[in-house]
């Protein structure tokens, strides 16, 4: 966490707990959320699209026909934008079944049911040995115990999910592949950089956006690539 945030940890806690209550209180028929110039439906217990993913979806580069793996897809917002950018095939994963129902709905609602596949998976577990041109991820930002699957959208117990992501991602990238990764100033930015470097990746900040004037909630998109020597060995 940066210094603009450390004094506001209690406020971030309250804000995140309130959002978890909102996610749990979504009506059974779902709720439409406006995000950039589009609408996404979320069913109960789904993390809904927010500013946090916007630096990523506004700046990631997808070449026509690229294969994309979206890890922790939630409503499917990043996966759907990858389809709009011309991806040939998108596999969207989440550990939360409620999120998968939302993502499947949004894939069809945006006309990408044939391009985008939704699958339940704890990180890469259900991917097998398939490799992709691009991996996208907006994983829980904070190293904090998550008591249930909704909290798991924001908090990562012992930072295990983020740690495993960096340990395992290279095995799912094609040669020349790249990762677009979202994170926040109220998350564990230094730990993310450390994990990326420890697992043989370079890290470049691409863009940022704040959700409040005081910038206590600022979101970043990182471009993360295997260093050349590791890529050859992966």
Which residues sit at the interface with ligand SAM, rule CB under 6 A?
Answer: 47, 49, 53, 72-75, 77-78, 93-96, 99, 122-123, 138-140, 152-153, 161
Largest CA distance in the chain: 50
Nearer to ligand SAM, 62 or 93 (CB): 93
Token pair for residue 146?
């998550």
Q: How far is the CB of 234 from ligand SAM (least distance, A)?
A: 21
Question: Exposed/middle/buried for 206, CB within 10 Å: 0-12, 13-18, 19+?
Answer: middle
Nearer to ligand SAM, 122 or 190 (CB): 122
Q: How far is the CB of 128 from ligand SAM (least distance, A)?
A: 15
Q: How far is the CB of 233 from ligand SAM (least distance, A)?
A: 26
Torsions phi, psi for 180 (to 5 deg): -110, 120
Nearer to ligand SAM, 94 or 133 (CB): 94
Torsions phi, psi for 141 (to 5 deg): -85, -30
Token pair for residue 8?
């506001």
Nearer to ligand SAM, 67 or 73 (CB): 73
Q: How far is the CB of 142 from ligand SAM (least distance, A)?
A: 10
What residues contact residue 126 under an 8 Å CB cut-off, 6+ apart?
Answer: 93, 119, 120
């Amino acid at each position: 966490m940066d210094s603009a945030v450390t004094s506001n940890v209690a406020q971030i806690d309250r804000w995140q707990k309130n959002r978890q209550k909102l996610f749990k209180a979504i009506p059974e028929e779902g709720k439409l959320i406006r995000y950039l110039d589009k609408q996404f439906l979320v069913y109960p217990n789904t993390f809904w699209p927010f500013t946090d993913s916007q630096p990523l979806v506004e700046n990631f580069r997808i070449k026509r026909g690229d294969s994309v793996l979206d890890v922790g897809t939630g409503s499917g917002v990043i996966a759907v934008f990858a389809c709009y950018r011309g991806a040939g095939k998108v596999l969207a994963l989440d550990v939360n079944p409620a999120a998968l129902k939302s993502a499947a709905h949004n894939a069809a609602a945006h006309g990408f049911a044939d391009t985008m596949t939704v699958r339940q998976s704890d990180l890469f577990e259900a991917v097998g040995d398939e490799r992709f041109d691009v991996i996208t991820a907006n994983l829980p930002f904070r190293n904090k115990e998550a008591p249930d699957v909704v909290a798991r959208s924001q908090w990562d117990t012992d930072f295990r999910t983020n740690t495993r992501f960096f340990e395992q991602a290279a095995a799912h990238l094609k040669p020349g592949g790249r990762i677009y990764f979202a994170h926040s100033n109220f998350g564990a930015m230094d730990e993310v950089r450390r994990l990326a470097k420890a697992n043989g990746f370079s890290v470049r900040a691409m863009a940022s956006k704040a959700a409040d004037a005081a910038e206590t909630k600022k979101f970043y998109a990182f471009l993360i690539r295997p260093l050349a020597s590791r890529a050859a060995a992966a």
